[in-house]
Structure 1
Amino acid sequence: MLAAIGDNTVRTSTYFRASGTALAVALLSACGGGSSADPAHLDATAAAARCADLAGGAGLADTTLTPQYVPAGTRRAGGAATGDFLGGYCVVTGAMNPRTGVDGHHYQIGFQLSLPDDWNGRFLYVGGGGNDGTLRDTTAALGGGLTSPVAQGYAVVSTDAGHQTTLAADFGGDPQARIDHAYNAHDKAAVAAKTIIARRYQKSAAKSYFQGCSGGGRQGMMFSQRFPDYFDGIVAMAPAQRVSSGATVAAMWNNIQFTNAAPLDGNGKPILSQALSSADLQLVATAVTNACDAADGAADGMVNNFKACTFNPAVLQCSGAKTATCLTSTQVTALQNVFGGPHNSSGQALYPGQPWDPGIASAGWRAWTLGTSTTATPNSLYNLLMSDALRNEFFTPPDPGFDILKFNFDTDPQRMEAFSQVYDTYRDTKLSAFQAHGGKLLFVHGLADPIFSPLDTRDYYEKLAASNGGIAATQSFARAFFVPGMNHCSGGPATDSFDALQAVVDWVEKGQAPDSIKATALATSAYFPNRTRPLCPYPKFAKYKGTGSLEDAANFTCESS
């Protein structure tokens, strides 16, 4: 099966390389390429006409396209109620390869493509997340405080990854839906988007980019490996590179540890959210800050030098009864086991643990690990999202009735290995073809991410460096940035607003490798409003120069020690 997948990857990628120029020429001719008007900068009437023309299918087989022209001044980015209006653009909703699965459900590969009237010549693929199943609004910004890529002139696509359910992963009962989710839908959506772009603008995109977080980060890594010539620059944030073999094992492990520490209701059932109160988590966060904060030269509530941070929650263990200033032995044990990472009965590590970071006290950390339910019915994302993915997609064959509290760490990981071979992206630590294409890759990961460990991204990057002549040589095409305090993709006591896309664009188009990325905490931050920091390429971290405001990035420098 793997050999067949590899053969298909090369064949598809090579075909697109060879045929792309001829396709663009043919489409230009079909669209009246002799027109004196610049198709990348048309007036509203002409742009609307070209949008309507896409209803013909743009030459894509087994595909239905539904285009709609959105005039300038009528919609804001992401459908927001406030802010600047977008310029005119054409939004194309596509459905490819409709079919009935072996489970009797309808499937198709859906995508949404936004084509601005004032095009900058670039194509951006926005990754998905979770179990996918929905079309992301392609006009939305890529983070708080940033400008919508469509407003900047990018042609932007998203896909539902080949199925139309979101939180549930019951599509895993259909083998083709699994393959679509892993890589096939993304291949098809990228090729379709490039084809439509060439028809709409009468030329191919000059440069192509990808940005995604979580599952979207995995998708970015997947493109760099399976389809290495599709994108010139990729931003992979909090990549779910071992979700179907490692991170989900850790989610099961963590859920069991915290459930074991949870108080019982009147029926003897554990109330997961109360295993650690918000005050308990703040107690831990404060202790971590006191132990590790100053290692970066500044006592500013952020642990920049995470490699130098050593902490053991045993220092908080009560000597007697539980009080507001200490933790029970059961709580301490749960934290030690969670941050130590899962292992089997022989002591073999199954996934990295987590770095200690003050972001443990934030809502984003609780949402994944403990949830907020005041009853014995848990609502943590370990229970709502990861459990369903495990039962229906990551297990081969699926096991919809599986009790996640009975996960066997000796035997159940083997049930996940078959799909891991197709889905996970941690095995290729060379990226030879992506390098040969001239591609640039940015990893970005929050240090308080409770689902995909930043230590896993660090380990992958170090293996990548070991396979490519060391850190210095690897930084010619791949760099990793870690964000202190940030939870999964955003949130937490962090400077979590930063333009990673522009960083990779400057690297690709200007040869300016990012020696740092300026990050900001928004004015609405509950922690450090308007604070700025440099994000530094690993293994460097932001170190205080010793003078000046702690709120200003200018007073920090990227250093290794």
Structure 2
Amino acid sequence: MEFTTIWPARTVAAALAFVLLDVVHAAQPVAAPHLRAPTSAMGTETDCTALSGPIGGGVVLNATTIPEKSDMPAYCRVTGTIAPSLNFEIRFPKTWNGKLYYGGGGGYNGFVPPPVAAPLRQGYVEVASDSGHQGDGMSAAFVLNDERAARLFGSEAVPEVMSIALKVVAKAYGMPPVRSYFEGYSTGGREGLMAVQRNPELFDGVIARAPAFNWVGFNGAFHRIAQALSAPGAEFKAAKIALLARHVRQACDKLDGVVDGIVANPAACTARRVNVAALRCSSGKDAGEHCLSDAQIAVVTQWITDVKFQGSNTYVAKGFNLTGNEDDPMNFGVWVSGNGDLKVAGQYVMQDTAVKYYLAKDETADSIAYGPWDKKPAALDAMATLNDATDPDIRPFIGHGGKLIVWQGGADAALSVNSTIDYMKQMRQVVGGENADHSTRFYVAPGVNHCEGGVGPDHTDLLSVLDNWIANGAEPGTLIARKLDESGRVVRALPLCQYPQYPRYTGPRHDTAAIRSASNYVCTNP
């Protein structure tokens, strides 16, 4: 499936081209939801011009036929605004398959994501919105004096837009969708988990990719690392990042059975094995490209270490893995260090805007000088109430037959995959292993950056997997992830294993073609 833009290119981080106890016993697994049978409305083309006009609630629709392009099928685009400023689009395919696909946003949203070709080609009605405000997708300025905009971004935009979308689909075809699915990346992944937790009957299935679900914890970790990087001698330019990445690969690349640039067995790549201290400059001060200063080692130490913050709850962010892919152009340099220019790093920008508009409520605030992240516990609580999708009890979603697929790149430098792992473990404990096995899947794609890219195979059509699961009862197991070149040709494939398994190489040694084939790997427990 094609990937939509995750972070708007117009931001200061322009390089982010697409780019955050005991429990009760769970109930027994439930049956799949009752699915409506196909009707004659499916497989037909809607009358685009007939969709313009009022639809109720003060919403007026404008419909336009969009002709086919080389990378996009023809479709009918319907736009509208839920007053005062929640803009949405509904895209009707040439031939409807009877189902709806809601695509999530990215960053702080502020724009309607462009259409995704694959769902339209498959016949889905496609829905998207700007989440209730317009502007820079890396800025939270919209929340400062607009409580409604803050709530819409947090959790309310998706159900509000869905209420209109269902009416428009019924107007177009005389019937609602047989099934409705959500798929999102990063903030879109958070929106998906938010719907699962707060609006459990809204979707039949949800795909949450690299979910930025832990808003308080993630941004607190970004703040801590930004403070560490601002210390004298701590900046990480490209040469230092490359030094760190080579050191990690040398220690850990072989642990999955093959040296191929991918550390696919992160459980074995422990801090002790990596031994970052071995890179220390003898004086502790920066002595060139072949060693790390004490301040730089402190940055790495904080990068891989868990952190907790106190509000009325304890907010936790898990440390990042050292993956050996830190030197990828869209990895550590873009997200963490800014390649020596901290203020253009994606994580710096995100924590800076969170300090200004959620915590200090002062657009002139200096986020680096801002005290401990949790110095205003009530402000953390308020941000969590709006934006955190950390509730592990998804039994209401499972109870109506909902299916959840969570996916994340193993080399994600924007959001810690360990935090996602921790959430999935908590969820499994709360809902029970049998329910989790019946209704959820979790995949970690080795060597893949935030949402896409990196050295690892990053393409898997999870929408078809989800639909086959719900419609036909085909429970997902090991999938296949593919790496494509610019022409769309497959250049490498790996098994996409269910966590905690990883793909271990079992093929012939020193055989480049064999290394690139998924058939020479076996999903293995660490």
Counterpart CA distance in 2 for 1:308 and 1:259 is: 31
Counterpart CA distance in 2 for 1:344 and 1:230 is: 32
Aligned: 1:154 with 2:119: no
Superposed displacement of residue 463, structure 1: 0.7
Q: In the TM superposition, what whole-angstrom CA distance separates every residue of 1:161-200 from its partner, at most 9, and x where no partner exists?
A: 1111233322112111111111221111111111111111
Aligned residue for 1:389, secondary structure, equals helix
Residue number in structure 2 paired with 1:268: none
The residue type paired with residue 240 of structure 1 is A
**Which of 384, 404, 417 is residue 381 of structure 2 equivalent to?**
417
Aligned: 1:354 with 2:315: no
Q: In the TM superposition, what whole-angstrom CA distance separates every residue of 1:350-397 from its partner, at most 9, and x where no partner exists?
A: 4111011122112222212122576xx8211233343213321x32x7
Identity %: 30
Superposed displacement of residue 261, structure 1: 4.7
Q: 1:163 to 1:500 in 2, by over 3 A?
A: same
Aligned residue for 1:290, secondary structure, equals helix
Superposed displacement of residue 236, structure 1: 0.5
Q: Contact between 2:447 and 2:456, CA under 8 Å: does it hold in 1?
A: yes
Q: Contact between 1:486 and 1:496, CA under 8 Å: does it hold in 2?
A: yes
Superposed displacement of residue 301, structure 1: 1.6
Counterpart CA distance in 1 for 2:305 and 2:250 is: 20
Q: 1:343 to 1:462 in 2, by over 3 A?
A: closer
Q: Contact between 2:53 and 2:62, CA under 8 Å: does it hold in 1?
A: no
Residue pairs, 1:210-249, within 5 angstroms: 210-243=182-215, 245-249=216-220
What is the TM-score when the length of structure 2 is the normalising length?
A: 0.84
Residue number in structure 1 paired with 2:478: 516
Superposed displacement of residue 539, structure 1: 1.4
Q: Contact between 1:124 and 1:210, CA under 8 Å: does it hold in 2?
A: yes
Superposed displacement of residue 304, structure 1: 1.4
**Which of 353, 371, 375 is residue 338 of structure 2 equivalent to?**
371
Aligned: 1:542 with 2:519: no
Q: In the TM superposition, what whole-angstrom CA distance separates every residue of 1:296-325 from its partner, at most 9, and x where no partner exists?
A: 222222111212211331121123572433
Counterpart CA distance in 1 for 2:180 and 2:473 is: 16
Aligned: 1:259 with 2:230: yes
Residue number in structure 1 paired with 2:73: 86
Aligned residue for 1:521, secondary structure, equals strand
Residue number in structure 2 paired with 1:75: 68
Residue number in structure 2 paired with 1:61: 57
Residue number in structure 1 paired with 2:157: 185
Q: Contact between 2:197 and 2:393, CA under 8 Å: does it hold in 1?
A: no
Aligned residue for 2:211, secondary structure, equals coil
Counterpart CA distance in 2 for 1:246 and 1:369 is: 16
Q: 1:431 to 1:349 in 2, by over 3 A?
A: closer
Aligned residue for 2:442, secondary structure, equals strand
Aligned: 1:284 with 2:244: yes
Residue number in structure 2 paired with 1:297: 257
Aligned: 1:399 with 2:396: no
Larger RCO: 1 or 2 (CA < 8 Å, sep 6+): 2
Q: Contact between 2:210 and 2:408, CA under 8 Å: does it hold in 1?
A: yes
Q: Contact between 1:124 and 1:156, CA under 8 Å: does it hold in 2?
A: yes
- RMSD of aligned alpha carbons: 2.6
Counterpart CA distance in 2 for 1:135 and 1:112 is: 7
Counterpart CA distance in 2 for 1:294 and 1:514 is: 29
For structure 2, the residue ranges without an aligned partner over 5 or more in a row are 1-32
What is the TM-score when the length of structure 1 is the normalising length?
A: 0.79
Q: Contact between 1:257 and 1:338, CA under 8 Å: does it hold in 2?
A: no
Residue pairs, 1:90-169, within 5 angstroms: 90-98=76-84, 108-138=85-115, 140-141=116-117, 148-167=118-137, 168-169=139-140
Residue number in structure 1 paired with 2:180: 208
Residue number in structure 2 paired with 1:340: 305
Counterpart CA distance in 1 for 2:460 and 2:109 is: 24
Q: Contact between 1:64 and 1:95, CA under 8 Å: does it hold in 2?
A: yes
The residue type paired with residue 339 of structure 1 is I
Residue number in structure 2 paired with 1:271: none
Counterpart CA distance in 2 for 1:175 and 1:184 is: 12
The residue type paired with residue 277 of structure 1 is K
Residue number in structure 2 paired with 1:12: none
Q: Contact between 1:39 and 1:202, CA under 8 Å: does it hold in 2?
A: yes
The residue type paired with residue 50 of structure 2 is D
The residue type paired with residue 250 of structure 2 is N
Q: Contact between 1:302 and 1:484, CA under 8 Å: does it hold in 2?
A: yes
**Which of 420, 430, 452 is residue 457 of structure 1 equivalent to?**
420
Q: Contact between 1:123 and 1:205, CA under 8 Å: does it hold in 2?
A: yes
Counterpart CA distance in 1 for 2:136 and 2:151 is: 17
Residue number in structure 2 paired with 1:431: 394
Aligned residue for 2:100, secondary structure, equals strand
Residue number in structure 2 paired with 1:199: 171
Q: 1:488 to 1:276 in 2, by over 3 A?
A: same
Q: In the TM superposition, what whole-angstrom CA distance separates every residue of 1:222-273 from its partner, at most 9, and x where no partner exists?
A: 1111111111111101111111x1101011111111121557xxxxxxxxxx
Residue number in structure 2 paired with 1:387: 352
The count of corresponding residues between Structure 1 and Structure 2 is: 474
Counterpart CA distance in 1 for 2:454 and 2:320 is: 15
Superposed displacement of residue 39, structure 1: 4.5
The residue type paired with residue 439 of structure 1 is G
Q: 1:84 to 1:166 in 2, by over 3 A?
A: closer
Residue pairs, 1:319-330, within 5 angstroms: 319=282, 322-330=287-295
Larger Rg over CA atoms: 1
Residue number in structure 1 paired with 2:9: none
Counterpart CA distance in 2 for 1:179 and 1:553 is: 44
Q: Contact between 1:163 and 1:171, CA under 8 Å: does it hold in 2?
A: yes
Q: 1:354 to 1:372 in 2, by over 3 A?
A: closer
**Which of 444, 458, 464 is residue 496 of structure 1 equivalent to?**
458
For structure 1, the residue ranges without an aligned partner over 5 or more in a row are 1-16, 22-32, 77-82, 99-107, 142-147, 264-274
Superposed displacement of residue 503, structure 1: 1.7
Counterpart CA distance in 2 for 1:254 and 1:529 is: 37
Counterpart CA distance in 2 for 1:381 and 1:434 is: 33
Q: Contact between 1:40 and 1:117, CA under 8 Å: does it hold in 2?
A: no
Counterpart CA distance in 2 for 1:208 and 1:495 is: 28
